[in-house]
A and B are shown apart, each in its own frame.
Chain A
Amino acid sequence: MAKEYLVNKDPKKAFMMSNEAMVRGALEADVKVISCYPGAPTSEILDTFFLLRNEFDYKFTTATNEKVALETVAGASMSGFRALTSMKSVGLNVASDAFFSLAYTGINAGCVMIVADDPHCHSSQSEEDGRFFGPNAYIPMLEPSNPKEARKMVKTAFEISERHKSIVVIRTTTRVNHQSGIVETEALNRTPFVKAKWSEVGENYFTVGETARQNKFKLLEKVKNIQIEFEDSPFNVISEGEGDIGILTSGVGYCYAKDACKILKINPKILKIGTPFPLPEKKIADFMKGLSKVVVIEELSPYLEHNAKRIAKDFELDVTILGKDAGHFSEAMEYNVPIVVMGISSALGIKSPIDYDGILKRANDLKTILPERMPCFCAGCPHRATFWAIKQAVRGRNVVFNNDIGCYSMAFFPPLNMTMSLLCMGSSLGLSAGMSQVLEDDVMCVVGDSTFFHAALPGLVNSVYHNLNITLFVLDNEVTAMTGQQFHAGTPEDRGMPEGKKRIIIEDVCRGIGVGHVAIMDSYDVKNNVDIIKEALDFKGPSVVISRRSCALHGDRIKRRTGVPIVQNEVDKSICKKPHTCIKDFYCPSFRFDSDDRAARILPEICDGCGVCAKICPFGTIHPIGEEAPGREVKQ
């Protein structure tokens, strides 16, 4: 067991990622029910609970989407069981309907949500600042800055949640989730899982009409109590310093601020906020009292900054608050130490001792020869094959292609450049509904199998109900590939899923709701797929093409487990006429060509043996190692 540090009963120091540390914290808090939908940078939380599912007796499910995940854990909590969910920022958009109502109803046993923002859009469609969900929904939030704190906060969050009968959100950012470090764990004291009875719960959870109105008053009272508690929270920490300048910060901003002060050789007083909602207003006021300037260091929106300004006004403090409003820091992109050094320098009118721009310029001048390395489909990825066929099928047609969220989003990049729109999970169906009513073009949209179940179903039902002329491609690679190949409702049962789960067949769903034309194709069968696609485009009314093949990474894992060999392909140089079809239109990372004769070559350490390149090669020069090239026979 490589992750023994998560399972060990006794306290120990171990190196782990914050995502793992939060799992450990939840296990130490005796969490009983977990339900998540994957999304970077939180996916390792789900993956870790999945990996450990046989070591503990908790109930774990990969939910169809974040809303279902949140409702699942809320239901468990109402029934008296500690429960946890995790999701990325945009996941909370999906779950927010339940989220707001759950504030009104309250919960019962500790119920914790880990919600990760992604400054810099490393793996998201937008830079959201999820902190505003706190005051908007009246739900308390904690924010760690490193793995040590992440473990501790999750564990404590269960207690806060239970004490106030409120969900508690752990708000993180990518640089916290994907930060590893040394964590001191505490003892694991797990109690056995035993089912309960609703009659023992003694509470109902609904919110409508007059009850909702009364709930609001109770909620305001609740938040006031939590705020009083947070005034003394050990997560809001002041480090003493010198002079009349202070720094107000939180999350990973605290780490950057500390290091930046060292570089700038200054030693200001620092208040690190660990409870972004409700804020410890008195503590912030006390901190600012006597200071002439406070520099606020936080990524994304000026949340702390505006609150600090309001608090300064309310408490009649004569302090200047410097941050984004005054232009010293940006609301866009993530920070690092140099950005914070320069921001503090600008705010305080001092000079940075290090010329970071100079260092960057020198490096950039050396990088002029550096080729781009854009994300691309893996060797053996079925999506590359599907898109190759779609590209052939739409030749000479006027088409609109609405993309969606998954590995296939990369159709946006060269060589495909095939995206007219891309918003959020499942959106391609809704957009197509609008476009198909007003455009003369063939309207196509694409979703993956996981996205199909997550958010595409209502859009598909809508297009059947209104008989819209839309062709939907469902790229069924058996897993939620982009986030790490998690299982979902359509994953075949023999993939080692926990027992008692049923696979839902996508074509059955489509036919069941009345899609008039449903075609199924093997993604690798590229030549024959062209006609299948044309036929679907010609069909009047909603049509669905399911392109099916295992994600290459997932497929390789199964092959290794079951002892099926992966036979790489090679190019028969003696007959290669060098049209570079396999290179120009295909972008498989296993391909290059030799400098001397320009013949294509396949790198065996990368090739996955899918053989799709062999099918598109016009001269039949590509063949599995150990076999003869098909083009050879033709020649003879």
Chain B
Amino acid sequence: MSQDSSFDLVICGVGGQGIVLLSNIIGRGCAKADLEARTGELHGLSQRSGTIYIHMRIGKDNLSPLIPYGEADALISLEAVEALRYLEYLKDDGVIILNKRVINPPIEVAQLSKEKRTDFIKFDEIKEKLNVITQNIAPLPALDLAKEAGNPLTENVVFIGALSALKSFPLDAEVLKESVAESVPKKALDVNLKAFDLGYKAAYDSLCQTVECVERKID
């Protein structure tokens, strides 16, 4: 881990999924590891259910808060459809950690209802499109894992666990866990750490099959 390890990450999802907290946890980890970092954040307005993204750039090489098209090392998508929306930022063969969860926007549901159709957009359809850019896609059943950890709201932390398995990601699991511990309420600490571990372990079943991961530390 040095000041030179740069990593460009796009985080996206649907309002209310906790992506601001997610990026703050990573950012806090960067401060601990003495790495430079910057973000470009689209907060949207405060309503839930809209699309949101955060660009996160670790390392001192770049100043722009927004990642140029085709340069992100990884895309983590807390909702499957949203990965497609921000695909132009990912470099060829970049990593996608993709939630298996699809949240159908009301306008899609209403449109299908009116046209008497039932062909909702499906996870596999999205994945097929993403595969044009990269084979390195790790599907993550994050909501199930979060529920298993004890609280569906820890879905975001599952992703941090998964990300920490990635060898090219400049922060290791220890630092990130410390950062999680400092960012969540004390009484929610255990469920969050459990969610982290479940995400980390899940990475070895998917992500690490195609991309290089760190030596497995949590069983």
Contacts and interface: CB of A to CB of B under 8 A. Distances in A.
Interface of A: 2, 13-15, 17, 40-41, 122-123, 145-147, 175, 178-182, 252, 254-256, 258-259, 262-263, 336-338, 341, 354, 356, 359-360, 362-364, 366-367, 369-379, 381, 407, 410, 414-415, 481-485, 553, 580, 583-584, 587-589, 591-593, 595-596, 598, 605-606
Given A370-B84, A372-B107, A584-B114, A336 B64 contact: yes
Interface string B19-58: 0000110011011001111111111111111110000000
A15 B24 contact: yes
B47 to A, nearest CB: 5
Contacts of A259: 62-64, 68
A576 to B, nearest CB: 13
Contact of B41 (A179, A338, A366): A179
Given A371-B121, A378-B47, A587 B85 contact: no
A366 B132 contact: yes
B46 A483 contact: yes
A367 B84 contact: yes
Interface string B88-123: 100000000000000111111110111000111100
Nearest to A485: B46
Contact of A583 (B14, B30, B50, B109): B109
B66 interface: yes
B167 interface: no
Q: Which 4 interchain pairs have the tightest Cβ spacing?
A: A15-B27, A363-B88, A371-B108, A255-B63
Nearest to B23: A180
Interface residues of B, number: 65
Contacts of A14: 28, 31
A31 to B, nearest CB: 24
Contacts of A40: 43, 45
Contact of A255 (B37, B48, B64, B105): B64
Nearest to B179: A15
A145 B51 CA distance: 26
15 contacts: A178-B40, A182-B30, A256-B66, A259-B68, A338-B69, A341-B68, A356-B69, A364-B88, A366-B129, A373-B85, A378-B49, A407-B46, A414-B107, A415-B110, A481-B46
A482 B106 CA distance: 20
A553 B65 contact: no
Contacts of A145: 63
A280 to B, nearest CB: 22
A514 B51 CA distance: 44
A407 B44 CA distance: 12
Contacts of A484: 46
A347 to B, nearest CB: 18
Contacts of A258: 63-64
Of B39, B62, B65, B109, most buried by chain A (CB within 10 Å of CB) is B65
B88 A359 contact: yes
Given A360-B88, A589-B48, A336 B66 contact: yes
Nearest to B183: A2
A541 to B, nearest CB: 35
Contacts of B121: 369-371
Contact of A15 (B31, B45, B69): B31
B105 A372 contact: yes
A181 B28 CA distance: 10
A370 B179 CA distance: 35
B24 A589 contact: no
Contact of A371 (B24, B64, B105): B105
A553 B49 CA distance: 12
Contacts of A374: 50, 105, 107
Interface in B107-156: 107-110, 112-114, 118-121, 125-126, 129-130, 132-133, 143, 152
A593 B68 CA distance: 38
Given A175-B65, A583-B109, A15 B47 contact: no
A482 B162 CA distance: 33
B64 A337 contact: yes
B31 A254 contact: no
A370 B40 contact: no
Contact of B87 (A123, A181, A367, A553): A367
A181 B37 contact: yes
B63 A122 contact: no
Q: Which of A147, A370, A379, A595 has the most CB of B within 10 A?
A: A370
A379 B103 CA distance: 13
B182 interface: yes
B81 interface: yes
A337 B68 contact: yes
Interface string B176-203: 0000001100000000000000000000
B45 A375 contact: yes
Nearest to B25: A15
Contacts of B109: 583, 591-593
A591 B104 CA distance: 9
Contacts of A363: 69, 87-88, 133
Given A370-B84, A587-B106, A605 B24 contact: no
Given A370-B84, A372-B107, A263 B66 contact: no
B106 A591 contact: yes
Contacts of A605: 143, 152
A595 B120 contact: yes
A336 B64 CA distance: 8
Contacts of A360: 69, 88
Nearest to B155: A605
A506 B66 CA distance: 44
B187 to A, nearest CB: 12
Contacts of B119: 595
A374 B104 CA distance: 11
B63 A146 contact: yes
Contact of A146 (B38, B47, B106, B114): B38
B143 A337 contact: no
Contacts of B114: 584
Given A180-B39, A587-B107, A598-B118, A375 B68 contact: no
Nearest to B106: A587
A367 B87 CA distance: 9
Contact of A256 (B37, B42, B49, B64): B64
B182 A2 contact: yes
Nearest to A407: B47
A363 B91 CA distance: 11
A284 B32 CA distance: 39
B46 A592 contact: no
Interface in B61-83: 62-70, 81-82
